[in-house]
Amino acid sequence: MKISYHGHSVVMIETNGTSIIIDPFISGNGQTDLKADDVKVDVILLTHGHNDHVGDTIELAKRNHALVVAPFELATYLGWQGVNVHPMHIGGSHTFEFGKVKLTQAFHGSAYVKEEENEIIYTGMPSGILFTAEGKTIYHAGDTALFSDMKMIGELNTIDVAFLPIGDNFTMGPEDAVIAAKWLQAKQVVPIHFNTFPVIEQDGNQFAEKLPEGVGKVLEAGEGFEL
């Protein structure tokens, strides 16, 4: 299994011959190394409906004939746009040919904003994602505050890699993310959702240094590793 980070909250996974992208905010993302026109994926996993997470989903899904897995309301909206979707909800899991997806809770909002129309479309509750394949488990927390059930997530799952937001303001900041990492007991922790906008500027290396030796792993856009 190969995992790579591409700025903001964009994560790519290659497993079992399947290319998966999480929260593909590419166009307008000054931190990414990707170009939407060049991205080839089979599956898109979405944590919630904010524009900086849905990103290029509709274009990518249509061009690649990709499956989009998302919380029910968001999946329904995307289905109306002509996208092939698999709706899920918090606490539910589903085993696909490429791996198992389970949605966890996240404390945040979830709405798609059409700025030109001054319209906000409710897209259900936000979520985190537990993805398991090849005997490995990845936790993408999405956008969230620190919450105590992260202890339970860590107790019930052996997490190989956790992607945690550290930007503060819209999500938990570095201090709370350190606590989250401790509760999750992840073998490796990668900070996400920071430095994309001025209001979420953080030092990823300072965050990593506060974790046990070898746990924190700061990735630049385009960097990755194998599990």
- The pLDDT tens digits along the chain (227 residues) read 999 999 999 999 999 899 999 999 999 999 999 999 999 999 999 999 999 999 999 999 999 999 999 999 999 999 999 999 999 999 999 999 999 999 999 999 999 999 999 999 999 999 999 999 999 999 999 999 999 999 999 999 999 999 999 999 999 999 999 999 999 999 999 999 999 999 999 999 999 999 999 999 999 999 999 99
Distance, CA of 150 to CA of 148 (rounded, Å): 5
Residues 6+ apart with CB under 8 A from 102: 91, 92, 93, 94, 129, 130, 131, 132
Task: Identify the CA nearest to 51 among candidates 109, 138, 128, 129.
Answer: 109
The pLDDT value given to residue 43: 98
Stated pTM of the model: 0.97
The pLDDT value given to residue 53: 98
The pLDDT value given to residue 40: 97
* 71: enclosing H helix or E strand: strand 67-71
The pLDDT value given to residue 135: 97
State the residue for tokens 């992607």: 163
Task: Identify the CA nearest to 53 among candidates 203, 180, 192.
Answer: 192
The pLDDT value given to residue 213: 95
Task: Identify the CA nearest to 104 among candidates 119, 93, 118, 117.
Answer: 93
Q: What is the DSSP letter of 184?
A: H
Where exactly are the structural domains of the chain? 2-213
Domain at 2-213, CATH homologous superfamily: Ribonuclease Z/Hydroxyacylglutathione hydrolase-like (3.60.15.10)
The pLDDT value given to residue 199: 98
The pLDDT value given to residue 132: 98
The pLDDT value given to residue 23: 98
The pLDDT value given to residue 190: 98
